[in-house]
A and B are shown apart, each in its own frame.
Chain A
């Protein structure tokens, strides 16, 4: 394991992830960026660590202090120790402004608390065909199983509906770049339940290997860093979904179907095929 990947204090920008940008490093071509606050730019924070936004810091800090207080008041020694210990830990986290769980899970964040996700796959098809499949936004839910629907509103705007733990979440987005055969970029419109922006790049692969498809997206997790950690642990986090989506895309394009073992025979009665 690369020790740098778990160290938010690393002074080198993370060079292993081309989609990962720090405020001081040059952006890849056409990267859609969000506005950064002067405060965070002054701090010069990198994006490899998971930083808690100010609100989350104060909440965690308050809980920590309250737990220390409860521990001090407790009459039972074990309770005193556990409450005091957990409280001190949370307070320390708030003081440093870092979420070690998020860092350990390699959840990448920028200084605004937005989560950065990127991944790539090479597909043995020409860029124009792959772009066309992706540009047909209404059909994207076939590829991305967590998407419930994409409703095309006009040439640039669309409404996205995503399955969420409690029902569905929906927002409007607009295309900010549309370069046929090369690139699509989007940005959620103000008022979105999950603020997000991102891009898909289609780049010819060297040799006869087809096209490199690169997806970079940024979103603001509804419950802050902690929300991103919970989602990751529950397998519902975009970095994991993106990987699956890209492999599903590759298989649709290269095979026309997805391989499966669902319904095969086994010694498990419940999952066996027909008797």
Chain B
């Protein structure tokens, strides 16, 4: 089959690789009908995520049709149309039973690698996302092996198009969880979202769905800001305005009640802090550039929540903890517990409350994907979200 393969830092390619097979009786094989490039794939492309290996198949946002099931799979049958959460969870351990699917104890076969970095515990496995997270082959391919097939895949029985449900696999639940964990008081709270990429777009719209009185989106790319404005959000271009001043003005000096950092480890920003972050990252003294996190802590209102869907990888310094302490902020963060959001968000799509396909700007084949990785990374051509058809 054809698959997108990581070939080294800043190199992805289309290769012909062996078709996946069932490795355990709880596996299923899915014929991928739609897949997408995610912002966090760019961290892999850039080589800032350790433990990638040449030849790894990328991709963690995918959906398709079940073509084969292991003998212990009970909830799926061949022919089912499914969306597959990007994180892999066993469904049996204590975190899974508490709905903390991304913190699954059992799904990462390479637990030792993450334990060494993260204080003796590892998260669950992820599709197509480095060996620290299990080294599972991803879904930017014609077929994919889905482990724990009774736990992750969710059947789509309505006639919604792929493009309307594909993002239930990652960016919609990720944006939604970011907004949900703010504890928004409907009709009262103001929410600011740093980063108007796909997750930021869904975070902003989810904040609206949850009743935010006002949503402000901060970015520097005009077409991304335009997409947020089209949803009724106020926008701030941080290259034209002083973010902290603009946010104070927009909120009568209080600051946003909740701030969502949908940027994470590769924030751009400007000024001496951003330059220092970049230098440290290049020198491998730090994984993360934290301009967005600093702005989040400095801008957030007293008693507010800082919600972090943006990915951080390692150790950070120059964090304005004094501001966070002085204002009594609450931090909420972590990998999305996708499994628990799929059904309720699917209901919202079916009810017509949101059509997630608004975020798509580019459609392509697998063969065109390496070019589109670069287009997406460089934010050229108005690129916000790329959907791939593996059979095109």
- Residue of B with least CB distance to A271: B55
Q: Contact mask A177-194 → B, CB, 8 Å, 1/0?
A: 000000000000000000
Pairwise interchain contact B93-A124, C-beta atoms closer than 8 A = yes
Pairwise interchain contact B55-A261, C-beta atoms closer than 8 A = no
Closest 10 CB pairs of A and B: A267-B55, A268-B55, A267-B5, A272-B18, A265-B18, A273-B18, A266-B55, A265-B20, A254-B92, A267-B15
Pairwise interchain contact A261-B24, C-beta atoms closer than 8 A = no
Pairwise interchain contact A274-B18, C-beta atoms closer than 8 A = yes
A residues at B contact (CB < 8 Å): 122, 124, 209-210, 240, 243-244, 247, 250-251, 254-255, 257-268, 271-275
Give the complex CA separation of A271 and B55 in angstroms: 10
Name B1-50 residues within 8 Å CB distance of A.
Answer: 1, 3, 5-7, 15, 17-21, 23-26
List chain B residues, Cβ under 8 A from A271: 55
List chain A residues, Cβ under 8 A from B336: none
- B145 touches which of A210, A255, A264 (Cβ 8 Å): A264
29 A-B pairs with CB atoms under 8 Å apart are A122-B94, A124-B92, A243-B115, A250-B105, A254-B92, A254-B93, A254-B105, A255-B106, A257-B24, A257-B25, A259-B107, A259-B148, A260-B23, A260-B24, A260-B109, A261-B137, A263-B21, A264-B20, A264-B137, A264-B145, A265-B145, A266-B17, A266-B55, A267-B7, A267-B54, A267-B57, A268-B53, A274-B21, A275-B18
Shortest distance from the beta carbon of B227 to any chain A beta carbon, whole Å:
34
Pairwise interchain contact A210-B125, C-beta atoms closer than 8 A = no
Pairwise interchain contact A265-B137, C-beta atoms closer than 8 A = yes
Give the complex CA separation of A263 and B18 in angstroms: 10
List chain B residues, Cβ under 8 A from A268: 53-55
Asked if B147 is at the interface (CB within 8 A of a chain A CB), the reply is yes
List chain B residues, Cβ under 8 A from A209: 94
List chain A residues, Cβ under 8 A from B81: none
Pairwise interchain contact A261-B20, C-beta atoms closer than 8 A = no
- Residue of A with least CB distance to B7: A267
Interface of B is mostly: loop
Pairwise interchain contact B94-A265, C-beta atoms closer than 8 A = no
Pairwise interchain contact B109-A259, C-beta atoms closer than 8 A = yes
Shortest distance from the beta carbon of B173 to any chain A beta carbon, whole Å:
22
- Residue of A with least CB distance to B105: A250
Number of interface residues of B (CB under 8 A): 43
Asked if B56 is at the interface (CB within 8 A of a chain A CB), the reply is yes
- A267 touches which of B3, B24, B94 (Cβ 8 Å): B3
Pairwise interchain contact B90-A259, C-beta atoms closer than 8 A = yes
- A257 touches which of B26, B56, B93, B108 (Cβ 8 Å): B26
Shortest distance from the beta carbon of B82 to any chain A beta carbon, whole Å:
19
Q: How many inter-chain residue pairs (CB < 8 Å) link A and B?
A: 97
Asked if B86 is at the interface (CB within 8 A of a chain A CB), the reply is no
Pairwise interchain contact B136-A264, C-beta atoms closer than 8 A = yes
Interface of A is mostly: loop
List chain A residues, Cβ under 8 A from B19: 265, 273-274
List chain B residues, Cβ under 8 A from A274: 18-19, 21
Pairwise interchain contact A265-B93, C-beta atoms closer than 8 A = no
Pairwise interchain contact B106-A259, C-beta atoms closer than 8 A = yes
List chain B residues, Cβ under 8 A from A272: 17-18
List chain A residues, Cβ under 8 A from B26: 257
- Residue of A with least CB distance to B1: A265
Shortest distance from the beta carbon of B60 to any chain A beta carbon, whole Å:
14
- Residue of A with least CB distance to B107: A259
From B7, B18, B147, residue with most partner A Cβ within 10 Å: B18
From A243, A250, A257, A267, residue with most partner B Cβ within 10 Å: A267
Give the complex CA separation of A259 and B124 in angstroms: 11
List chain B residues, Cβ under 8 A from A251: 106
Shortest distance from the beta carbon of B149 to any chain A beta carbon, whole Å:
12
List chain B residues, Cβ under 8 A from A124: 92-94, 97
Asked if B135 is at the interface (CB within 8 A of a chain A CB), the reply is yes
Give the complex CA separation of A268 and B23 in angstroms: 17
Pairwise interchain contact B109-A267, C-beta atoms closer than 8 A = no
List chain A residues, Cβ under 8 A from B93: 124, 250, 254
Give the complex CA separation of A36 and B25 in angstroms: 52
Give the complex CA separation of A262 and B131 in angstroms: 12
Q: Known A254-B90, A268-B53, A274-B18; judge A247-B137 contact (CB<8 A).
A: no
- Residue of A with least CB distance to B4: A267
- Residue of B with least CB distance to A273: B18
Asked if B385 is at the interface (CB within 8 A of a chain A CB), the reply is no
Give the complex CA separation of A49 and B154 in angstroms: 52
List chain A residues, Cβ under 8 A from B107: 259
Give the complex CA separation of A272 and B125 in angstroms: 19
From A257, A266, A274, residue with most partner B Cβ within 10 Å: A266
Shortest distance from the beta carbon of B11 to any chain A beta carbon, whole Å:
12
Q: Known A124-B92, A254-B106; judge A259-B17 contact (CB<8 A).
A: no
